[in-house]
Amino acid sequence: MSRDLNEAVLVVGYRGMVGSAIVRRLRDLGYQNVLTVGREDLDLLDQQAVKAYFNAHQIDQVYLAAAKVGGIHANNTYPADFIYDNLMIQANVIEAAHRVGVQKLLFLGSSCIYPKHAEQPMTEQALLTGTLEPTNEPYAIAKIAGIKLCESYNRQHGRDYRSVMPTNLYGPHDNYHPDNSHVIPALLRRFHDAVQQGTEEVVIWGSGQPMREFLHVDDMAAASVHVMELDADIYQANTQPMLSHINVGTGIDCTIRELAETIAKVTGFAGTLTFDASKPDGAPRKLMDVSRLRSMGWEASIDLETGLANAYEWFVTHRQAVRG
C-alpha cells in the first residue's frame, strides 16, 4: 500500500453522501492536506473555472465523487440534465487534473453501468455486453464515459486514473427528497413519518420480491481509499487496460420485503406492511460480483441492520436540515 499523509488530496463533491464519507475516512487515516471546494466557489460545469482552480492549487490526488444523482422518478423526469451534467463534470475534472500533472485520480461510478439483464452476480466483464435499464440510461452512459475517460488518459498519457463502481449506497448525508430519493432514504423517511403520525400501515411500491444489494457509505469510502492506495503493480495485476473498473459491494443481497422489515425494526414501526404489486418492480435482482476487490484485500464490514440504524440516527438528528 502506498500512503503519503502529506500529499494534497482533493475531494470533488465533498458535501455529498459519498464525498463527505471519503473526507471523513481520509482525515481518520491522518491525511493532513485534504482539499474541498463547494459549488458556490466552483461550478464544475464551467470548464474554464475548473481549469483555473486546478492551476491555482497544488494537487497530488483527486477523488471524483461529484455527480448529479437521483432515483427512478428523477432520472425519468430530467434525462437531459443527468447525461449533460455528469458528462461535463467528469470531462472537466479529469482533463483539468491531467493538464496540471495530477497522476492519481479515483472516479466513482455506479452499478447501473451494467446491462439490464446482466448475469447475476454482475462481474466487471459485463460492461457493454447488453442493453441498459431504460429508466436511467442517460446517467449510466455518462458513468460509462467516465470509466472510458480514465482508461483513455491512462493509455495515452500514462496516468494512474482508477474507477470504482459501487452498488446501492446509503448512510449519512443521503438525499431524503420524497420524489427524488433512492429506496432506503425513501423508506426511512416514510416509516419515520408513520411512527410520528401514528399511522398503522405503510404501503411499499412493488411486490417486495426483487433482490437488491446495499452498501453503507462508510464502507464505500474505506474501499475507495483502499483502491486509491494500492500500489500500481497490484492494481494493474488485478485489472486490464480496457477493463479497469472495480466493483464495490457487500456481495450479499436481500429482498425489498426483507429490507422494509428491517427498516420497520430500526424505526420502531409496529404496524402493517402492504406491498402494492401494481407498481413496477424493476429488475428482479441486482447483485455485484466483488471477488476482484476481495482479491485486492478489502471487503465490507458494516452489516445491513447496523448500517440502517446509523443512517436513521443521522436522519433523525438532522431532520430539519436534511435535503427533502
What is the reported pLDDT for 5?
95
Which CATH class name applies to 8-174+213-252+286-302?
Answer: alpha beta
Whether residue 251 is annotated as binding a ligand: the answer is: no
Residue ranges of domains in the chain: 8-174+213-252+286-302
Tell me the C-alpha to C-alpha distance, in Å, between residue 109 and each of 33, 173, 201, 255, 261.
Answer: 25, 18, 36, 24, 29
Q: Name 92's Cβ contacts closer than 8 Å, sequence gap at least 6.
A: 44, 45, 46, 47, 50, 51
What is the reported pLDDT for 323?
57
pLDDT tier at 97 (50, 70, 90 boundaries)?
very high
Whether residue 2 is annotated as binding a ligand: the answer is: no
139 has catalytic annotation = yes
Q: Considering the entire predicted model, what is its pTM?
A: 0.94
What is the reported pLDDT for 281?
85
- Cα separation, 86 vs 89, in Å, equals 5
Whether residue 207 is annotated as binding a ligand: the answer is: no
Place of cell 479497469: 244
What is the reported pLDDT for 148?
97
**pLDDT digits over 33-80, tens only?**
999 998 899 999 999 999 999 999 999 999 999 999 877 777 888 999
Tell me the C-alpha to C-alpha distance, in Å, between residue 8 and each of 11, 64, 97, 133, 229.
Answer: 10, 14, 13, 38, 14
Q: Which of 63, 139, 170, 312 is catalytic?
A: 139
- Write out 40-52 in H/E/C secondary structure: CCCCCCCHHHHHH
**pLDDT digits over 132-180, tens only?**
988 889 999 999 999 999 999 999 999 999 999 999 999 999 988 766 6
Please give the share of the chain, as a percent, with pLDDT higher than 70. Answer: 98
Whether residue 205 is annotated as binding a ligand: the answer is: yes
Angle at 247 between CA 106 and CA 242, to 5 degrees: 70
Task: At 43, give phi and psi (nearest 5°).
Answer: -85, 110
